[in-house]
Amino acid sequence: MRCMTVALDVAADGDRPALRLRPWRAADMPDLLAAMALEYPSRGLASHPDIKVPGPPRWSGPRNDEEAALWLSGQQRGWAVGDWLTFAVLDAVQNTVVGHVALKNRDGGKVGTGERGEIGYWTAADARGRGIAPAALRAVTDWAFSNFGADGLPRIMLVHDLDNLASCRVALTGGYPFHELSPAKPPYWFTDGHIHLAEAPAR
Ligand SMILES: CC(C)(COP(=O)(O)OP(=O)(O)OC[C@H]1O[C@@H](n2cnc3c(N)ncnc32)[C@H](O)[C@@H]1OP(=O)(O)O)[C@@H](O)C(=O)NCCC(=O)NCCS
């Protein structure tokens, strides 16, 4: 997939700055490292299979330039193969990174080839509470349904831990109604959670 052609713009609204979403670039890595330094590793960034944190799978993000380069290569590989489509979310005026959205095929393989995609997101700690995640979530969801069509991508699921109330709010305001409770299912996830689903619009 040609990643450099994808750029999504979201207008400012109230507290929320205008956003630009596009694939991650090397120039974004200092912002990403600064954000990860605020909360790594307990609330970092779901990131890259090559960066392992000991213990059960958990949020992980790059901690230094070397890991950032590895992390970025993972995002670029994902776009090239089409199985891991990630967006840096930028404050469009400041041109700074404020978040991240990642879309994959739930059952592996390329996005747009299965029964359902799966989406995740993160907002930098100092940019939270301004509606950035739900706006970014909507932008990527709309793009994905329009790009892959209902045949290739009938629905996208979103899973959050039961105690992640902020994420539950993001799901609901970002266009993902609650679908069902999801009991812990190691090694895929280790706590009870919610599954939310967005359906592709009918043509
Ligand atoms: C969950 C998360 C993505 C929310 O992002 P966000 O851009 O702050 O989203 P919002 O601004 O819409 O905030 C979501 C809710 O949390 C509240 N909130 C979150 N952080 C807040 C803050 N620092 N100050 C005030 N309110 C905050 C908001 O009021 C909002 O609730 P509301 O819709 O009832 O008003 C962000 O907290 C995060 O990145 N957390 C760590 C990673 C994570 O949990 N990702 C999701 C995994 S499923």
DSSP state of 20: E
Average pLDDT over residues 97-105: 95
How far is residue 137's CA from residue 140's CA, in Å, rounded to a whole number? 5
**Contact by Cβ (8 Å): 71, 62:** yes
| Assigned domain for 41 exists | yes
Q: What is the Å distance from ligand 1's center to 167 Cα?
A: 6
Nearest Cα residue to 29 out of 80, 81, 74, 79: 74
Question: Which residue has a Cα nearest atom 40 of ligand 1?
Answer: 122
Q: What is the Å distance from ligand 1's center to 2 Cα?
A: 31
Question: Which residue has a Cα nearest atom 24 of ligand 1?
Answer: 129
Average pLDDT over residues 111-131: 94
| Assigned domain for 92 exists | yes
Regarding pTM above 0.85, the answer is yes
How far is residue 174's CA from residue 123's CA, in Å, rounded to a whole number? 14
- Can you tell me which atom of ligand 1 is nearest the CA of 129? 11
| Assigned domain for 116 exists | yes
Read off the pLDDT band of 41 (50, 70, 90). low
Break the chain down into helix, strand, coil percent, rounded to 5. 35, 25, 40
DSSP state of 175: T
| Assigned domain for 67 exists | yes
| Assigned domain for 49 exists | yes
Q: Which of 169, 178, 182, 191 to mutate to test the pocket of ligand 1 (most atoms within 8 A of CB)?
A: 169
How far is residue 4's CA from residue 120's CA, in Å, rounded to a whole number? 21
pLDDT digits (tens, 9 = 90+) for 162-183: 999 999 999 999 999 999 999 9
**Contact by Cβ (8 Å): 86, 24:** yes
DSSP state of 31: H
pLDDT of residue 190: 78
| Assigned domain for 178 exists | no
| Assigned domain for 38 exists | yes
Nearest Cα residue to 79 out of 4, 145, 28: 4
% of residues, the chain, pLDDT over 70: 86
If residue 25 lies in a helix (H) or strand (E), which one and from where to where?
none
| Assigned domain for 158 exists | no
More confident residue, 101 or 202: 101
Q: Which residues constitute the domain of residue 108?
A: 3-150
If one counts the domains in the chain, the total is: 1
How far is residue 132's CA from residue 137's CA, in Å, rounded to a whole number? 8
Q: Which of 13, 100, 119, 170 to mutate to test the pocket of ligand 1 (most atoms within 8 A of CB)?
A: 170
CATH code of the domain containing 99: 3.40.630.30
